[in-house]
Every structure is written in structure tokens, then in C-alpha cells.
Structure 1
Amino acid sequence: MMKNVYQGGIRLVLFDVDGVLTDGSLHLGALGEEVKIFNAKDGVAVALLKSHGISTGVLSGKASDALDYRVSQLKLDLAITGRSDKLRAYSQLKRDLCLDDREIVFVGDDVIDLPVIRRAALSYAPADAHELVRWEASHITRTKGGKGVAREVAEHLLQLGGLTLEEAYAPLLNKWSTHDVQQ
């Protein structure tokens, strides 16, 4: 069994959805049904983080059936959706899980995300995030929203925790079949 060598202290990575896991476009059908376009690379990112004992979740101002399906498909550890007061939801989540800001990473792209970006230990913003968010985030990805932001965040975070890319991916590559990797 491969030893988890990640030493970063982060226990949870939370992702905003629209503009982070998607490109922010809204695809609506004639009856109002919503279709979201997700990137397969971000599914691998979830498995990568989990393989190092880091929980994953979404904190989204919107709720949708498409998002619920993707959360279930990726087996995210938690999903807080339909909450426009993200700081209140984040604070409640911390209490419920007995976590401290120092143990949480947040990835957001728009001004509604700023209160959480200011609180989490580390924050990331996609390359095309709102200017105010880019100013305040700890890190800006090279990737735009919906184009694999979560994958870039996961790799960067694990490298900050002292791993090489090879070490970061070793648990997945050595035992791919035992990890539930959904792209």
C-alpha cells in the first residue's frame, strides 16, 4: 500500500461551480432545463485530491439538476448549492466539520466569492475570473473556468505540500482500478 506523503495540512478543497468547474455559460432549453458543460480533467482532480486524504466539495450560489448529477458522479464529499450567502454557508460548514480556515482551500471566480476567498487558507481564481477576485486570490490559474481549473489547483496544491507530480499521481497510477476515478 502506498503511503500518503502529502504534508500540506489542507483537509478540504471547495470549488465554486459556474465560472470554475464550468465556463460560466448557461445553456437553457425551451422548458428552462439547464445543461452544464464540465471538464473531464476536473474529475481526475477530485480523485487525485481524495487519493491524498483531501476532501472535496462545491459551494455554489446556484442549484441545478445538472450540478446534482455531477456531484453524485464525482462522489464529492459535500455539496452546498443554492446559497448566495457563501460566507454564512462556509462558516456553518466549518462548524459542522470542525475545520479551521487554515485547513480549507477555496476556488472562486466572481465577486460573490470574495468573502470566502478572504477567509480560506489558500484561494485560487481561474485566469478569466473577475478582476477583484484575481487581486485577492492567493493564486491565479493559467487555465480559464471550465477548462480544467480543478486539475491545475489539485496539482499545484499537492506540489505546495511537498510532492512532485510523479509522487502526487503515484496513488492513482499504481492502483487506478481501486480508485473510483470519474472523468
Structure 2
Amino acid sequence: MNEEQSSSLSDIRLVAFDVDGVLTDGRLYYGPEGESLKVFHVRDGVALKVLPDVGIEVAVVSAKDSPALRARLSDLGVQHAFVGCHDKLHRLQALADELGLAPHQVAFVGDDLVDLKVMDWCGCGLAPADAYSLVLERADRVLTVSGGQGVARCVADLILNAQGLYDQAYSLAADAHFERKRDSAGQ
């Protein structure tokens, strides 16, 4: 990581994640009744819980909506969950305004063309290793892991290290109380 990327990661106060192709491997599974099934990596759950515990807001923004996604976000207590959202840029700009954050304080992780506007707007655009080729070219940082393989954890580690919060964050995560189910009110 070059100095410019390190400094932008040290400014991050909100990190937002796309779902399909980022928090999942991008494949869509349908059950016999037509329901959508999703597979999430447990390491991402730790990241989505530990970042807010050290003062970094987390958002999840997805054009798709499903009971599986809603259940996972609820279990993790994600405060800023926007599902069925077809204008990610507008939604994240509004959230940044609500939180009093400038674009350089926002990071976004996306994997496909629909994510480019947000990646271009925010302070740091990140992409999984297997993102679409144009996204890989335009990302500020390409991660070492593919979608669904711990992307959020990789991003959390980068941000926590850049901000000197890694040890503090993971000492919180090592506590047995950390694994409790959290609700959308953060409890």
C-alpha cells in the first residue's frame, strides 16, 4: 500500500459494503420454492461487529433484498443496512451527510459496474480480487481475497492497522461477550 492509500485509510470513519460479489461469492442460489439463499463468511461477521465497536461506522448497501440477507444483517446488528437500494451513491451520500462525514472519510467496497460511481465519489474504493476487470482498474485498492472469502475482514484489518486500532479491536473481539447476537439497535 502506498503512502496515499495509507493516509486515506487512516481518515475512514464509514466503510460501506456491497453484498453480492463482496460479502458473498456473487453466485445466486435458489431453493425449491424460489427463495434466494446466500452464503456468508464468518470472518466478515467479526469485521462488521468490531469496526463499530472502535468507532468506525459500517453500512451494507445492496440492490437485492432477501430474508437471508436481512437475517444476517440483523444478527450482526448492522446499523446502516440498505437493501433493495438501486441508487447506492445517493444513499451513501445521504448517510455521510447524516453522520457529518466528508467523502474522504468514506470507503466503499464493490465488485461490479454499478459500484463505480460510489467508488469514484468516496475517499477509498476497494475491490475484491475477483471483481469485474474495469472495477479492478479503477479501485484505489484491490484486496488479496475474492468475494465471499472474508472481504470485510480484510478491509477491517487494513483500516484498523492504518488507524492503529488493530490490537484494541481484536482484544474486544476475543471477549466472550463479543459473540452475542446483536440487534439493529446495536444491543
TM-score range, shorter chain: 0.7 to 0.9
Is the partner of 2:121 in helix, strand or coil? coil
Alignment partners' CA distance in 2, 1:87 and 1:153: 20
Match of 1:170 in 2: 171
Alignment partners' CA distance in 1, 2:62 and 2:101: 19
Is the partner of 1:80 in helix, strand or coil? strand
Match of 2:12 in 1: 10
Q: Give the aligned residue type for 2:12.
A: I
Structure 2: 5+ residue stretches without partners: 1-8, 182-187
Q: How does 1:16-35 map to 2 (within 5 A)?
A: 16-35=18-37
Shift in CA distance, 151/94, structure 1 to aligned 2, threshold 3 Å: same
Match of 1:3 in 2: none
Question: Is the contact between residue 46 and residue 173 of structure 2 (CA under 8 Å) also seen in structure 1?
Answer: no
Question: How far off is 1:181 after superposition?
Answer: 5.6
Match of 1:138 in 2: 140
Structure 1: 5+ residue stretches without partners: 1-6
Match of 1:4 in 2: none
Match of 2:112 in 1: 110
Alignment partners' CA distance in 1, 2:27 and 2:64: 13
Alignment partners' CA distance in 2, 1:119 and 1:181: 35
Match of 1:128 in 2: 130
Q: Give the aligned residue type for 2:170.
A: Y
Answering whether residue 73 of structure 2 is matched by residue 74 of structure 1, we say: no
* Alignment RMSD: 1.8
Question: Is the contact between residue 49 and residue 77 of structure 2 (CA under 8 Å) also seen in structure 1?
Answer: no
Question: How far off is 1:94 after superposition?
Answer: 2.3
Tell me which moved more, 126-135 or 41-50: 41-50
Question: How far off is 1:137 after superposition?
Answer: 1.1
Question: How far off is 1:172 after superposition?
Answer: 2.5
Percentage of matched positions with identical amino acids: 42
Is the partner of 1:118 in helix, strand or coil? helix
Question: How far off is 1:72 after superposition?
Answer: 0.1
Question: Is the contact between residue 126 and residue 149 of structure 1 (CA under 8 Å) also seen in structure 2?
Answer: yes
Question: How far off is 1:61 after superposition?
Answer: 1.1
Question: How far off is 1:13 after superposition?
Answer: 1.0
2:50 corresponds, among 32, 48, 51, to 48
Q: Give the aligned residue type for 2:43.
A: K
Match of 1:150 in 2: 152
Question: How far off is 1:167 after superposition?
Answer: 4.5
TM-score (norm 2): 0.85
